[in-house]
Chains A and B, each alone.
Chain A
């Protein structure tokens, strides 16, 4: 009975919870000014959320080992962070303690939230535009030999060009920086999606294509009901690469020329050497990316559930 209760997995979960609780305690003991109180407050809320999340996830997940491992690693990272900064193993100005970093969310939350909203708007517009254009175009090109022969060498030449190259032109030709960033992200994510669609069409089993042909389908049905779903696995791999390139392009564009967005926030703070704000911004960006890619995986798993 006791053995069953204290399986290695259970022990690991208890240790994780204990670490989180220890971190919470240490926050309560050490604050020494108002800013750190605010930071400590946000930090403890985050830790509490993580603990609740761990317990809830453990109830609903099919893979408790994975969840436990992830949370244990998070807990250890926080401990390392705490230890490194408390003993000043790295210059604390460059690598500030958690309470300092989380205090940034207290003072700058409006700027950060607006920045994220703006970044997501730009990313979403460019990326969705890329999907809407790349998929039908890719299906046509993958299906039509002549179009393929024409566009393959062109794509081969253009796809490796870093999208940032287009920034100066975009800024001159398009009326606003918003549109320029959307355009650059569009270009960056377009090629991987487009090439993914073409590869996807090529990789559909010829027996499936033949079987579809014997049904006497119209061209439209052939494209939407056979080629599109058949190519979907490769479309998703392309779209994932496109998404990552889109995020990178977004951040670079914002650092280079924007006056809004989370990338701009980082750039702005680094001019004043505000390392706590830089770390805070980096955490926000990684959380944003994690949420976006998790949503992406959810959609992919649902659409490709037939595989």
Chain B
């Protein structure tokens, strides 16, 4: 169990002829074992933030602490599932798990690695596909595998960047349940930071939701989700509290949209005049 301390992070991307203010003074503390979602319109810097926390890119300003460690480089105590591509396409389903487990648990024997990989394939119901390459799996199966690889790593912190964004509604619900099941059935309750576009998904999954706004990427509001776990999707979505939370988040998101729509309209008007 590890907590994440996001301390005054700013990120400016400099390209040849422009500067993008992707993140501006982000401060956030995520407790160990907590499930936090980040929601916000496209381009508000969500992926950038995840990459900074994972140590893949260096922020322009500020720092990240994970437990007592200052994040400078990628490290196997944080594992990441990226927006649409995290598996190695040249490895079979089994090899993907085997490779990840082997390289993050240096003290396991070959036999233990094998057993662990097979067990994880079984949990997600992909035993039959252990020799298939990622291209031979459906989108849902690929993401299942990516999630299961993440849990196989024994990391303390999981970062997920819209892992189910490309799935249809039914598969998505199935995957959310799987994620929560794996998270709660493990012995070490990992800290999860989860990025999504989907308001319902964020409420169902999270302890807290961070709403962000773009240009520059900032935290607009942090919302506590009071519902006890285990949560029942049907009961939850019918409750008054749920609906008012949902409306609140939607209105936060659409406020931004209105602003940007107005801006766009203004520009178009200028252009045509």
* Residues of B near any A CB (own CB < 8 A): 51, 54-56, 73-76, 78-80, 82-91, 99-100, 103-104, 133-135, 153
Q: Is the CB of A214 within 8 A of B54?
A: yes
Which segment, of A53-61, A112-120, A205-213, faces chain B?
A205-213
DSSP majority for the A interface?
helix
C-alpha spacing A205/B134, complex, angstroms: 15
Please state if A307 and B74 are interface contacts (CB–CB under 8 Å): no
Q: List 24 A-B contacts (CB under 8 A).
A: A205-B85, A207-B84, A207-B85, A208-B88, A210-B56, A210-B82, A211-B80, A211-B88, A212-B88, A213-B55, A213-B56, A213-B74, A214-B56, A214-B78, A215-B76, A215-B100, A215-B103, A216-B75, A216-B76, A221-B103, A225-B99, A229-B88, A305-B133, A306-B135
From residue A225, how far is it (CB to closest CB) to chain B in Å?
7
Q: Which residue of B lies closest to A305 (CB)?
A: B133
Would you call A129 an interface residue if the criterion is a C-beta within 8 Å of the partner chain's C-beta atoms? Answer: no
Q: Is the CB of A306 within 8 A of B80?
A: no
Whole-angstrom distance from the CB of B133 to the nearest CB of chain A?
Answer: 4
CA–CA, A214 to B88, complex, Å?
A: 13
Specify which chain B residues have a CB less than 8 angstroms from the CB of A230 in the assembled complex: 88, 90
Bound form: Cα–Cα A42–B208 in Å? 83
The range of chain A's interface size is 20 to 34
Interface centre among A214, A229, A306, by most B CB within 10 Å? A214
Are A229 and B54 in contact (CB-based, < 8 A)?
no
Q: Is the CB of B104 within 8 A of A216?
A: yes
- Count of inter-chain pairs, beta carbons less than 8 A: 65
A residues near B79, Cβ cutoff 8 Å: 214-215
* Main secondary structure on B side of the interface with A: loop
Knowing A215-B104, A216-B104, say if A207 contacts B82 (CB, 8 Å). yes
In whole Å, how far is A148's beta carbon from the nearest beta carbon of chain B? 20
Q: Which residues of B contact A208 (CB under 8 A)?
A: 85, 88-89
Distance (Å) between the CB of A197 and the closest chain B CB? 15
Q: Quick one: given A215-B76, A307-B135, are A210 and B90 in contact (CB under 8 Å)?
A: no
B90 to chain A, nearest CB (A): 4
A217 on the interface (CB 8 Å rule)?
A: yes
A232 at the interface (CB under 8 A from B): yes
Give every chain B residue within 8 A of A307 (Cβ-Cβ).
89, 135
Chain A residues within an 8 Å CB radius of B90: 229-230, 232, 306
8 closest cross-chain pairs (CB), A and B: A216-B76, A213-B74, A229-B90, A306-B133, A207-B85, A306-B90, A211-B86, A214-B74
CA distance A232 to B91 in the complex (A): 13
Shortest B34–chain A CB gap in Å is: 20
Q: How far is the CB of A299 from chain B (nearest CB, A)?
A: 15
Max chain A C-beta neighbours (<10 A), residue from B79, B90, B135, B153? B90
Which single residue of chain A is at the shortest CB-CB distance from B146? A211
Closest-by-CB residue of B relative to A304 is B90
Distance in angstroms from B117 CB to nearest chain A CB is 14
Cβ contact of B103, chosen from A205, A216, A232, cutoff 8 A: A216
A226 contacts chain B at the CB level, 8 A cutoff: yes
Shortest Cβ distance from B257 into chain A, in angstroms? 28
Complex: A14 Cα to B82 Cα, angstroms: 56
**B-chain residues with CB within 8 Å of residue A213 when the two chains form the complex:** 55-56, 73-74
> Which residues in window 191-211 of A have CB below 8 A to B?
205, 207-208, 210-211
* A205→B82 CA distance, assembly (Å): 12
Residue of A nearest to B51 (CB): A210
A53 to chain B, nearest CB (A): 33
Residues of B contacting A305 with CB < 8 Å? 133
C-alpha spacing A230/B90, complex, angstroms: 7
Residue in A closest to B81 when the chains form the complex, CB atoms: A211
Tell whether, in the assembled complex, residue B85 and residue A214 are in contact, meaning their CB atoms are under 8 Å apart: no
Q: Are B103 and A217 in contact, with the CB atoms below 8 A?
A: yes
